[in-house]
Structure 1
Amino acid sequence: MQSDRPVFVIGCPRSGTTMLQLMLHSHPRIAVPPETRFLVPAYFSRRMYGDMRLAENRRTLANWIATGRNTKFRELGLDEAEFVQSAMLGPGSFGSVVGMVFKSYAERFGKPRWGDKRPSYYRHVEMIMRMFPDAQFINLVRDGRDCVASLKEMPWYKPDSVHAMANWAEAIDFGERNARKLPADTFYQLRYEDLTADPETELKKLCAFIGEDFDPAMCEPRHIAEVAVPKHKVWHNNTHGEVTTAHAGRWSTRLEPWEIALCEEVLGDRLIANGYELSGAPRAERQHVIAFKAAAGKRRTARLRKYNRDRFTRLREPGPLAALLTEGQRRLAGLPQQRNRELVIR
């Protein structure tokens, strides 16, 4: 039987996750939407919506997903009323309502398998597994110096390059932790540089991991970019061209000398561990190292504060969390196989 496990693309921002999302979306059986922005805030606000075994609560959550100002639902090309109805008629669990968006998106393209992409999910793997216990994660790693160089030029990235370095370090550390903790069939890591240098080889290995046959269309994601990349996201313009190695190593001309020095001092061990060579830059100035440590500490404190608040919610969950939309999810819940078209009624 072919797999229907959901697939999540994660990694530091500007690591090439949109390119990888489009490669997966180019597969005839898989649909991965552009960033939706509702999964994490919905989870941390789940007490507001109550027990999802009640249809009216499912309606309330689905309405927020469909109409919320920051959820990006409108970019998915789905009918709002149909989605809300599907959520109400679907299984009574929090993950089922959230996952119904991705399932509906996949049905829009006539595909049986769905997923999601958001770089910052690397911090929320445990949370996602609570909602989708059969999930698979693909962690994309890129040279941290290139990530920093790209992040500092993004119109939506407000922190400075020092915070961008702390972001990359955090993503790498979470990747190592997830690789240690998760089963081999749940977590897969690959490098952006390898993927762009030899897409076919890397995508064949990736397809083996997710349990799908390789399709050559995956190597040419530009064809699907016209449909799957929102027009206003001009920073994803590169996805409309050929897969290329031209963007690797551009940090050497895009970063200031002090930024290169700081990257190689505070990220050096992580860079080397992931197969990246250092340039031999001089030692970073002390105030820059202190600034990096402060930025990393600030990120860690904010993350722990949010997780500690969530621990109290976990003591008294408002209702069932795990989705019941795939065969794997239903099997883990001890439920029988679903009949065709059981969950979505048109």
Structure 2
Amino acid sequence: MTSQTSRPIFIIGCPRSGTTLLQQMLHSHSRIAFPSETRFVHTSYEARQTFGDLELEENRRKLGEWIAKGKDTKFHVLKLDPDDIVEEIVNAPPTLGSALATVFRAYAREHGKPRWGDKRPSYFRRIPMLRRMFPDAQFIHLVRDGRDAVSSLKKMPWYDGDTYSAALTWREAVDTGKRLSARLGPDTFYEFRYEDLVAEPEPALVKLCAFLGEEYDPAMTKAYKHARETVPSARKWHLRTHEAPNTRNVGAWRERLEDWEADLVEHVLASRLVDHGYMLSGVSRPTAAQLATFHRLAAHRWRSRRAHAVLDRLAQTRDPNPVVSLLNGPVPVDGASDEG
């Protein structure tokens, strides 16, 4: 029986864990529209108080113009008419979540689908924000072997961190996943491994669809056809999405990491790797100086996260409007009425 759920879907995970592949697979489902990274959800949330009281039409218009025409977003990847979206936001309920949902619903409507999702790996750091705006959302955490994720992340032209920061990012992601699993429960949070997805895509996707309340769509395993049309060849780091799922890069860290990096990464991530079913290779213990550097950076990040959380709680007391989306129900397609 076809599900009628319309809950938003968010993909999270450490960068370079296969989240773009999963996004393409979910977009290939007949009921789910999943755009490339748009970069306006977290930025508009951070800037929300600059738009003023959204009960005022001019302020909703200002917000709409910022999302659809501003230089700080990637609205253009949606290929929607900016002027039309601005008007839809003006006519939407006066909350930030409603404005954002309006954009994603328009994207889903354009693709003839009743449900939408959004993907950004670093959303694992912004779950409270997403749940404030979309309390009924479902979250998918894709986990990749931390050694492979670190070795891949370090190769990216857009990544300006080092081995220490990359290992910490993976650790933060899986630790967040563990907390979310316990806090949100199996109806809201789902975690699985990249290695299982690429080794046997169909059974992995069947289980994922069951979590989402959707019937499995075989087109999901052919997502590379869609990726060839939507993922630019210039983004060389995403060219694997142009291929059928395969395990060619599983374990590539053995060639990509220097000996000292492999020693460090496996040592500091060891218990978490084992918890997620990854076998340890038994590399040497890193030096005391390397461990001290890692733990110093970890302490700095912990203090930074705590400070950011405190500042966000203070900012919430100054919100001129609720931020929760008031648009509910499936996206109206094929003449269906809007239940929102």
TM-score by length of 2: 0.94
State the shift of 1:183 in Å. Answer: 2.6
The answer to whether 1:79 aligns with 2:81 is yes
Gaps of 5+ in 2: 331-335
Contact kept, 8 Å, 1:33 with 1:228, in 2: the verdict is: no
Q: Which residue of 2 aligns with 1:333?
A: none
Q: Secondary structure at the match of 1:138?
A: strand
Instruction: Indicate the larger mover: 43-52 or 266-275.
Output: 43-52
Q: Match for 1:234 among 214, 236, 241?
A: 236
The answer to whether 1:293 aligns with 2:326 is no
Q: Which residue of 2 aligns with 1:61?
A: 63
What is the alpha-carbon distance in structure 1 between the residues aligned to residue 300 and residue 223 of structure 2?
A: 37
What is the alpha-carbon distance in structure 2 between the residues aligned to residue 79 and residue 342 of structure 1?
A: 23
State the shift of 1:342 in Å. Answer: 7.4
Q: Which residue of 2 aligns with 1:332?
A: none
State the shift of 1:300 in Å. Answer: 2.1
Q: Which residue of 2 aligns with 1:340?
A: 337
What is the alpha-carbon distance in structure 2 between the residues aligned to residue 32 and residue 230 of structure 1?
A: 16
Contact kept, 8 Å, 2:97 with 2:133, in 1: the verdict is: yes
What is the alpha-carbon distance in structure 2 between the residues aligned to residue 125 and residue 68 of structure 1?
A: 24
CA deviation vs aligned residue, 1:165-188 (integer Å, no higher than 9, x gap): 010011011010111110321000
CA RMSD of aligned residues (A): 1.6
What is the alpha-carbon distance in structure 2 between the residues aligned to residue 179 and residue 293 of structure 1?
A: 26
Question: After the TM superposition, which residues 175-214 of structure 1 pair with which residues of structure 2 at under 5 Å, given as runs?
Answer: 175-214=177-216
Q: Secondary structure at the match of 1:163?
A: helix
What is the alpha-carbon distance in structure 2 between the residues aligned to residue 251 and residue 319 of structure 1?
A: 48
The answer to whether 1:127 aligns with 2:129 is yes
What is the alpha-carbon distance in structure 2 between the residues aligned to residue 154 and residue 26 of structure 1?
A: 26
What is the alpha-carbon distance in structure 2 between the residues aligned to residue 136 and residue 99 of structure 1?
A: 14
Q: Which residue of 2 aligns with 1:139?
A: 141
Task: Report the number of matched residues.
Answer: 334
Contact kept, 8 Å, 1:51 with 1:57, in 2: the verdict is: yes
Q: Which residue of 2 aligns with 1:118?
A: 120
What is the alpha-carbon distance in structure 1 between the residues aligned to residue 228 and residue 66 of structure 2?
A: 28
What is the alpha-carbon distance in structure 2 between the residues aligned to residue 311 and residue 126 of structure 1?
A: 10
Q: Secondary structure at the match of 2:141?
A: strand
Q: Percent identity?
A: 50
CA deviation vs aligned residue, 1:195-253 (integer Å, no higher than 9, x gap): 11111001000001101110101011101113332454221011001100111110011
Gaps of 5+ in 1: 329-338
What is the alpha-carbon distance in structure 2 between the residues aligned to residue 231 and residue 142 of structure 1?
A: 24
Q: Secondary structure at the match of 1:20?
A: helix
Q: Secondary structure at the match of 2:126?
A: helix
Q: Which residue of 1 aligns with 2:90?
A: 88
The one-letter code of the counterpart of 1:9 is I
The one-letter code of the counterpart of 1:269 is S
State the shift of 1:341 in Å. Answer: 4.6
Contact kept, 8 Å, 1:21 with 1:117, in 2: the verdict is: yes
Q: Secondary structure at the match of 1:289?
A: helix
Q: Secondary structure at the match of 2:267?
A: helix
Contact kept, 8 Å, 2:10 with 2:119, in 1: the verdict is: yes
Question: After the TM superposition, which residues 251-330 of structure 1 pair with which residues of structure 2 at under 5 Å, given as runs?
Answer: 251-327=253-329
Q: Match for 1:46 among 45, 48, 59?
A: 48
The answer to whether 1:217 aligns with 2:219 is yes
Q: Which residue of 2 aligns with 1:331?
A: none
CA deviation vs aligned residue, 1:128-182 (integer Å, no higher than 9, x gap): 0110111000000000000000000000000111110010011011010111110
State the shift of 1:304 in Å. Answer: 2.1
State the shift of 1:41 in Å. Answer: 1.8
State the shift of 1:340 in Å. Answer: 1.3
Instruction: Indicate the larger mover: 318-327 or 28-37.
Output: 318-327
What is the alpha-carbon distance in structure 1 between the residues aligned to residue 230 and residue 35 of structure 2?
A: 7
The one-letter code of the counterpart of 1:240 is H
Q: Secondary structure at the match of 1:5?
A: coil
Instruction: Indicate the larger mover: 290-299 or 217-226.
Output: 290-299
Q: Secondary structure at the match of 1:221?
A: helix
CA deviation vs aligned residue, 1:244-299 (integer Å, no higher than 9, x gap): 01111100110001011001111101101110111100100111111211222232
Q: Secondary structure at the match of 1:21?
A: helix
State the shift of 1:112 in Å. Answer: 0.9
Contact kept, 8 Å, 2:140 with 2:190, in 1: the verdict is: yes
- Change in Cα spacing, 1:141 to 1:177, as seen in structure 2 (3 Å) is same
Q: Secondary structure at the match of 1:327?
A: coil
The answer to whether 1:23 aligns with 2:20 is no
